[in-house]
Amino acid sequence: MYLGLGCLLVPIGAIGLVIPLLPGTVFLILAAACFARSSPRFEQWLLEHRYLGPSVRAWRANGSIPRRVKWIACISLVVSYGIVLASAAPMVGRIAAAACFIAVAAYIITRPEPVAEV
C-alpha cells in the first residue's frame, strides 16, 4: 500500500514543482515517507534524484523551505483567500479560512532556509 501511494505521489509532486499553485514538495516528502516504509530502493532513488531530491533532503535535514517556495506558497494563500472572499461563503467560513491561511503562512515563514548543497 505504501509503495503504491508513493508511486502515485511522486508524479503529483513533480507536476507541482512546475505548476506554481500546486505544492510539489509536500507530495514528494510524503512519497519519501511512503517509500521509507515500503522500498528503501525507491526512497534512495527519490533522495538522489537531480530535480526531485534536493527539496526532500533539505526538509529531512532541518525542516527547511527555500525562500522562493515560501513566496510562492504565501502568494498562493493570498490568491486562495481572495477566491474565498469572492465566493458566497458565510462569514464564519471566511473567518475560519483566514485563520487557517494565517496559521499556514506563519508556519511556512518561520521554517529555516536550506543551506546551499555542495
Burial of 72 (0-12, 13-18, 19+ CB in 10 A): middle
Q: Is the pTM of this model over 0.85?
A: no
13 Cβ contact list (under 8 Å, min separation 6): 24, 25, 26, 27, 28, 30, 31, 52
- 23-74 pLDDT per residue, tens: 788 899 999 999 999 999 999 999 999 988 988 998 898 888 888 878 888 8
d(CA 91, CA 12): 33
C-alpha span between 80 and 88 (Å, rounded): 14
